[in-house]
Structure 1
Amino acid sequence: MSPFLCVIFLLCLSTLATATKFDQVYEWDELDYEWPAEANRTKSLIDGTFKPEEMSPLYMAVFGSRLFLSLGSYNGIPVSLVTVPTSSTSTKNPKLTPFPSWDLHDYGKEGDCNKIEVAAGLQVDSIGRLWVLDSGSSECKAKLWIIDLINNDHTKLIHQFVFRNWMHDLVLDETADGTFAYISRWGESHIVVFNLKRKRSWMVYTPPKIQVISIAISPNLEEPRKLYLGKWISEEVYSISAATLRSGLTRRVKPKLIGKWKTTDPYRMLIDNQGTMYSAFVFSNNTQSWNTSQPFQAQLFHEDEAAGLDSLFPFTIALDQNESIWLTVEHERSQKPRYRLLKVAVGEKSNDVLPGLPYSHLN
């Protein structure tokens, strides 16, 4: 390659790495709740049931003027599902409001199986219902909640699974025959399928070597729909037919290897309506993207030098109804602000600026 072409290529890579222009919505030096009273907060700090340094966003969903977060399931996290408005006159250290209320969480009542115990993956369906995975506890089985965001946040415990713990993420498949949820559990060699119409769930097993962590689904307008699986402790990405899962007739599948990310452990994947997949990785300071209509080729989507060094899950990604991308970033503990909430509007994404150009600076 001539020196001139080499310079042009490097400039293109640099442009790609910085092309995504996010707007900052909020920043936090420390996460905190909107408490019923200051006395509740003080007591929880003293007895150790509230440890603000342990709070970290792991999952996110957006609907209308509200953003929902699931927080890390560690000791010192009294409420794991919270909400904040998508905009506010104050952008620094906004308080997190327990959702749908303090009373529906097991704060101070551990082992109450009729409460939200450990919120995990979140998704909003086309009619404004928030689906919430709940890992349960040593005393309660894992659960699935549906909260009607249009109907006064009416909350219903829709299903209890046969297992406990290790719930990770879910995607929704809305069909003429009803809505199906496909659920991944941390490092398990199976996918959990839930049929809302029949209130029934079952497991579909993958080969033992394919331990699933992340999960994504192709756009609703695309048929046949594909389910994408990120492999635990691996860069590998696989795909299977969603129709195979929803039929309920198949209990074992052999996903097809379609490519590899540039980084291991893609703990969060999602796909927008144009078919672009976005992924975040364990202990990584970048997120990547891939146009699923093309052969697998990872691109850099967003990078933050201060992220990923001492955080297991440094990024959380979500799409809203307008296909804008929302991103939380967790910085090193020594950095201020510790957390940032960012947003990029449709048409301002890096892969729209330079489509198909891979990045190589991590090689």
Structure 2
Amino acid sequence: MTPFFVAILLLGLSSMATATNLFSQVFEWPDGLDYEWPSEANRTQEDETLEPDDIVPLYMAAYGPKIFLSLKKYGNIPMSLVSLPTRSASSAPPKLTPFPSWDMHENENWEKCNKIEEAKGLEVDSIGRLWVLDEASSKSNCRAKLWIFDLNSNKTELVHHFYFHDPIHDLVLDETPNGTFAYISRQSKQHIVVFSLEQNESWKVNTSGLAVSSIALSPKNQEPRTLYLSEYESSELYSISVAALRNGTRTANPELIGNWTAKQSYRMLLDNHGTMYAAFQWENYTSSWNSSQPFQEQRFYEAADLLPFYWQFTFSLGQSGSLWMMVFDEYSNPRYALLKAEIGAKSYIFEDLPEESILWHLFGIILSGSIVFSVVIFWRNLRQKRINSLSRIITKELTKYRTTSPTMTFIPRPLSPDLNIRAAEKSKLGTDD
């Protein structure tokens, strides 16, 4: 490995060792979260039954200047998919904006099955589409759905109805030259679900007795890619090859990778450098693991002053190198805080250039700079040559002219022919007098 990449590796290790200190607070909500209501009438009507404690974020996706959250559909929560800005000019914490609109959330006519019922796992693909898992409400006879929204227009691009009602948990996206696949976990079920965007079809893949909880996917440039599965109510972490899933297999054989310190990982995520981040039920910390090395858990972020809660954190990576994390504290203020850490890595969705590619990229930059520098030097030399050549011509002509006019007072200024001519005319006038 080159010294350049050794330096980067050491810098990364140093950053990981102090990861908790990397986080800065973006917003806090001392009194709990609240919606951006369409009117005061709506607020008044809902406030009669809505408790701030009922608004609990479960899943997160980051894209551009927005954070998308899916909320636990608990009590009288009017909608479960919202967004909030990553920055605000106001000193007050931002409110939650229903996504894509208030009208897209179902609270009354459950049998139409054409609205968002209970949003779960979220992911944004490389071209700016938000993928949303939607679990059917216990009040309806609908099937679970997958929504795909174009974030440039906030319009629905596709709705896929699964073969089951519930449960549904989280998803990862596998973008390939031959199409895009979503791999979906179903909390405690002994299978995962594969969805093909091009075919608009989904199917079940048995996991050989492994009850799956959370799910994560290795970076795009690490082929063959690996799908990671955590076991429900267990500390065990497994992996399966993605190649067979792409080819339509109906049975997978997970291999044990290692054991986390805690049980029940409800959220896992890899960045495009291959580092995995994981959160656990009833734990006040998150862990990490460098997946290019044998399994070895490291403490990534720890909130020592927080009492453990069922679902303490939710986090996401975007394309800017920032890790976003929502922290929930049930027993003190602020109840919610949005944190941000600059870790220098993007979501697994985006490619991480290998060493050779980066070196060639740097070589291209250096080569381009050298060419520009050479062109500038060449142009300056050519310009100087033209000036020198013109100077010699003018000097030669003036010398010749002085030879044929012996009474002329000659002032040799080769680069200023006008001054030579005026001097000669003045001398000639003096001779006539």
State the TM-score, normalizing by the size of structure 2.
0.73
Q: Residue by residue, what CA displacement relative to the aligned partner does 1:262-288 show, whole Å, maximum 9, x if unpaired? A: 111110000000000000111110000
Number of residue pairs matched by the alignment: 330
Pair 1:291 & 2:296 matched: no
Q: What's the secondary structure of 1:137's corresponding residue?
A: coil
Instruction: Specify which structure has the higher proportion of helix.
Output: 2
1:17 positional shift: 6.2
The answer (yes or no) to whether the contact 1:206–1:252 under 8 Å persists in 2 is yes
Change (3 A) 1:291 1:159: same
Match of 1:4 in 2: none
The answer (yes or no) to whether the contact 1:21–1:348 under 8 Å persists in 2 is no
In the TM superposition, what are the counterparts of 1:75-224 in structure 2 within 5 Å?
A: 75-90=75-90, 92-138=92-138, 139-150=141-152, 152-208=153-209, 210-224=210-224
Q: What's the secondary structure of 2:127's corresponding residue?
A: coil
Identity of aligned residues (%): 54
Match of 2:44 in 1: 42
Change (3 A) 1:20 1:245: farther
Amino acid at match of 2:318: D
Match of 1:355 in 2: none
Q: What stretches of structure 2 of length at least 5 have no aligned partner?
A: 1-12, 347-433
Q: What stretches of structure 1 of length at least 5 have no aligned partner?
A: 1-11, 350-363
Match of 1:28 in 2: 29
The answer (yes or no) to whether the contact 1:111–1:137 under 8 Å persists in 2 is no
Q: What's the secondary structure of 1:343's corresponding residue?
A: strand
The answer (yes or no) to whether the contact 1:282–1:308 under 8 Å persists in 2 is no
Match of 2:325 in 1: 327
Aligned-partner Cα distance in 2 for 1:307–1:160: 39
1:306 positional shift: 3.9
Change (3 A) 1:110 1:41: farther
Q: What's the secondary structure of 1:39's corresponding residue?
A: helix
Match of 2:314 in 1: 316
1:23 positional shift: 1.3
Match of 2:349 in 1: none
Change (3 A) 1:91 1:265: farther
Match of 2:424 in 1: none
Amino acid at match of 1:330: F
Q: Residue by residue, what CA displacement relative to the aligned partner does 1:212-246 show, whole Å, maximum 9, x if unpaired? A: 01000000111000000011111100000011111
Larger deviation, residues 216-225 vs 102-111: 102-111
Amino acid at match of 1:322: S
Aligned-partner Cα distance in 1 for 2:259–2:91: 37
Match of 1:254 in 2: 253
Aligned-partner Cα distance in 1 for 2:151–2:19: 36
Aligned-partner Cα distance in 2 for 1:111–1:75: 20
Amino acid at match of 2:339: L
Change (3 A) 1:17 1:321: closer
The answer (yes or no) to whether the contact 1:186–1:213 under 8 Å persists in 2 is yes
Q: Residue by residue, what CA displacement relative to the aligned partner does 1:182-208 show, whole Å, maximum 9, x if unpaired? A: 000111110100000000000001122
Aligned-partner Cα distance in 2 for 1:133–1:323: 25
Change (3 A) 1:147 1:326: same
Q: What's the secondary structure of 1:244's corresponding residue?
A: helix
1:90 positional shift: 2.9
Aligned-partner Cα distance in 1 for 2:231–2:178: 30
> Of the two structures, which has the highest relative contact order with CA contacts closer than 8 Å and spacing of 6 or more?
1
Match of 1:273 in 2: 272
Instruction: Specify which structure has the higher proportion of strand.
Output: 1
The answer (yes or no) to whether the contact 1:275–1:293 under 8 Å persists in 2 is yes
For the pair shown, the structure with the greater C-alpha radius of gyration is 2
State the TM-score, normalizing by the size of structure 1.
0.87
Pair 1:337 & 2:334 matched: yes
1:332 positional shift: 2.5
Q: What's the secondary structure of 1:288's corresponding residue?
A: strand
Pair 1:301 & 2:303 matched: no
Change (3 A) 1:348 1:321: closer
